Structure 1
């Protein structure tokens, strides 16, 4: 952290501060392992601040989402039709993107079809 502060000083930048919630990241862990920190920091030169004297940084309180994870369940393979659902989903051909993107799209399609099927 000291090196970061020295770099800001060397470049003539200063922290713009903030208004709102003091933290920009949460670990999502329970009880003692829970962590909140301010990761985001806006910096500017004194020249920039003189041009934009009314500029402010606001930390907005984000909505906490509790996504339900859908993982492959071994019990699915015992059901008739599971293989067909997977084969059908895997035959999907994403139109654009890298090979890795296409792979993730196929996996996402397969997951969605299995969850809808189960």
Structure 2
């Protein structure tokens, strides 16, 4: 989309190599372009440069595989996500297992965690040790849910915004918003890393 006319001999050479190696391009879902010069308006050029090529034998084993072009970040190229599947998942009847209690290392940084443990373990004689531990686990889980910040939800929300903007016209405003969102994702990833350290 836009830019100089590509030399046809280069395109033909690539296609010949793909044919000689008996490769096929996997089905792409989502935005079709994988590269952009990140310029505004009429100067914006987008191309489908990056491909996921497979042999026929591989495709026969995994016929429902697909490719998704993810949102570009800090690069002119969009990352490619390949989902490898033998068959379509029509009915997922697996019941979701209830997750057992898991003590999180990050809780040790908060004094409130120690208070919850102390209060739970100091319950009266009516509570045996197992009941105190179960009460402590429930109290810690409730406390954690009220205190934790869901970085992945925020990052996913911003990536979705980025996907919408990639599909939009490359105006100065849209590119400016994309750079702002890119910066926000960097900040969230840094905060998440510090949170789990």
Tell me the TM-score normalized by structure 1. Answer: 0.51
Q: In 2, distance between residues paired with 1:61 and 1:30?
A: 17
Q: Looking at both structures, which has the greater relative contact order when contacts are Cα pairs under 8 Å and sequence separation is at least 6?
A: 1
**Structure 1 gaps, min length 5:** 69-118
Q: Which residue of the partner structure matches residue 25 of structure 1?
A: 35
Residue among 15, 19, 37 paired with 2:25: 15
> What is the root-mean-square deviation in Å for CA atoms of aligned residues?
2.0
Question: 1:8 Cα deviation (Å)?
Answer: 0.5
Question: 1:12 Cα deviation (Å)?
Answer: 0.6
**SS at structure 2 position matched to 1:44:** strand
**SS at structure 2 position matched to 1:49:** helix
Count residues in correspondence: 68
Q: Is the 8 A contact 1:17 1:41 kept in 2?
A: no
Q: Which residue of the partner structure matches residue 49 of structure 1?
A: 59
Change (3 A) 1:11 1:42: same
Q: In 2, distance between residues paired with 1:58 and 1:28?
A: 20
Over residues 35-83 of structure 1, what are the superposed CA-to-partner deviations in whole Å (9 max), with x where a residue is unaligned?
1111210111110001111211111233433589xxxxxxxxxxxxxxx
Over residues 21-47 of structure 1, what are the superposed CA-to-partner deviations in whole Å (9 max), with x where a residue is unaligned?
111111111222111111210111110
Q: In 1, distance between residues paired with 2:43 and 2:22?
A: 37
**SS at structure 2 position matched to 1:65:** helix
Tell me the TM-score normalized by structure 2. Answer: 0.32
**Structure 2 gaps, min length 5:** 1-10, 73-161, 163-177, 184-197
Larger Rg computed on CA atoms: 2
The answer to which structure has the higher helix fraction is 2
